[in-house]
Structure 1
Amino acid sequence: MSDVKKVVLAYSGGLDTSVILKWLQETYNCEVVTFTADLGQGEELEPARKKAEMLGIKPQNIYIDDLREEFVRDYVFPMFRANAVYEGIYLLGTSIARPLIAKRQIEIARETGADAVCHGATGKGNDQVRFELGYYALEPHIKVIAPWREWDLNSRTKLIDFAEKHQIPIAKDKRGEAPFSVDANLLHISAEGKVLEDPWETAPEYVYSRSVAPEQAPDEPTVVTIDFEKGDPVAVNGQHLSPAALLTRLNELAGDNGIGRIDIVENRFVGMKSRGVYETPGGTILLEAHRAIESITIDRGAAHLKDELMPRYAELIYNGFWWSPEREMLQALIDKSQETVNGTVRLKLYKGNVIVEGRRSHNSLYSEEHVTFEEDTVYDQRDAEGFIKLNALRLRLLKQAHG
């Protein structure tokens, strides 16, 4: 352990990472650099700076970076171009934040001459895989420290005892058993563990923090328009916004209308099943709107190929392979498909529902002339007869051969 001279720690300022900070100093006898990312989690981050200073970290070794715009522009939006959904329901809110945190940690390690990086993910979850795959993809020879796989502080009681022994401040709500574990960013907030561990038990209402209950949402619907350029949303109700500001606005509209709640049991990459309660308000609107604008701007063959590849793409992100060549190859294909995904979608938000009401685009492939039920001059209905007979030929031969 003495070979580590300087380590960059992903630091939230909470109990776990504060204990990790002190543990690194004691166990590795190394210099610690703290990195706290503002991904739109909605928390004040300056306390993390003060706590790091109190624990002996030099001011020049404390990094607090506002990554909200980069997060939405370079990670969330590319993922939504693919309509990525894991196991049919999860919009990958936690998964998509990890590659950015890993990237910035490696950048800070290079800037400060650190020879190691450290995260606070446990040995049971997906995040340890996501962080470390990112580290190694970007810096193959970096030393990775994962305290939860090394130390014997394997309970909250032991963490609190360690904190008290080393005079690490503990938030009052951390002294008892935390009701559940929370992870948040601008795209979503997740809750897992404790009161949520029994998948039969209804999640208590206090678990939710970004949306009203659908039953409590307004009785009048909210109508909203979203403008798209090359597959990315650029304006809400005609107002052009930056990526982070746009997602923030969609979160507000969705949360007010009880939109974006899911209660799922998912398959973790490490093999176990996990129950989680997630809120992805703005992302839920965005997915419906993006599919709506694609429906009139993407050719059938291209659209169906995208849908076939999407589960593989989503799984790569879930499992931590954002920096893999296969994800980048798929991204190039997806981005090519978005060149004509331009236009406006109108939606109605009502008591937990997102209802598409209209879509239009100057790149539209929808031809009213062809689909009209009235008389037309562009389509000969008799052409369908040969088309059907050719497609039926193998079925007729099969039936004739086998009775």
Structure 2
Amino acid sequence: MSVDLAVDFCGFHLENPFILAPSPSTDQLDLLIKAFEAGWAGAVLKTVTVDSSIVSRVFPLVMRVEHVMGFMGIQNIDLVSEHSVEEIEQHVRFLKKRFPNKAVIPSIIATNKDDWQMLAERMVEAGADLLECSISFPHGAEWGLCSPIQEPGGTEEITRWVKEVTGKVPVVIKLSAQDSDIIATATAAERSGAEGVCALNTLKSITGVNLDTLIPYPNVAGLSTYGGLSGPALKPIALRCTAEIAQKLNLDIAGSGGITTWQDGAEFLLLGASSLQLCTAVLRFGVGIIRELSTGLQGWMEEKGFQNLKDVIGRSLPYLVGHSQLPRGIQLVSQIQPAACDGCGTCYTVCRTGGHAAIHWRDGLPQVMVSQCTGCGLCQAMCPQQAIFLARLMGERAVLTG
């Protein structure tokens, strides 16, 4: 069966749903050329403002965020592109001439109506296929480029300003992970004419603190600051925002935040995204990751019998309901697979600190006492070997629930 990965996003036909998110990777023309040749369907250029010289960069720009379980993401204190508006215009023109079927998406940010409209007009004139508006940054607001918190009123006003001058070029509003009511803000964007939203921007964060110097990371000549968290740690929040918007609004959604594998991308599509923006994964593994993303997604779709992305997008939304609508009265119990268990004892500990003391030791391995187990799932969630599954109790027999 032939599987079609093509999709329409805000009226633009993408050969596949994978787009480069604004980052250092999209601020270099040679890397953009390499990415398009590798198979990426489009790119959002690193955000440009009227006068990039007003922001003085500091180094290091990026810190790794890690925990005992491994890589969680990166925190960056980078801001806008160092390129001038004229240089970004040149990039857009060059890319559209060489790659007419790729989506070239400038990202803009400004402080007032005149500047928002000037940037929008110039990018449209240069040949932009879509325009992304970055209304808030999680860090660096003191430079006067943006509000640290995105809210509906400002979003609606800025979207209207931009839509007044973009003509038929679709406008995508990038949403903030710190928004207290992301649906209200997305609704404001839709009301003022935006064709799509990007869910979502990085999350204001602190990487950690050096316990020897006592200085938070990153250390910039003895001082530090807040940054924007991206990568796998952001994925659950981004998935939630994508699903909520898809359930309540009629906007095209660019899923963004923690997409590393084709499986991540499939999850965003199933929850309503129609394009996928990647940043941290590209920085880690290079633009060549597109081959694995595309072939993996295609293979899964073939296995599931999906012919195109229309069969996938939003497919999982009907399963999301309010907490009060969840089924009650179903008895689950934990089942431990001896072949996968290494006897680490994590399940035993968690069952006694947060469960119902249903796990006991027998012959050096944990055993579940079915009569004491409530099926809370703590042991399954904490098991490092993924040796535990939950089964539905049918009489005295446990049946795997999936």
> Which TM-score applies when normalising by structure 2?
0.28
> Which TM-score applies when normalising by structure 1?
0.28
- Which has more radius of gyration? 1
Higher share in helix? 1
Larger relative contact order (CA 8 Å, sep ≥ 6)? 1
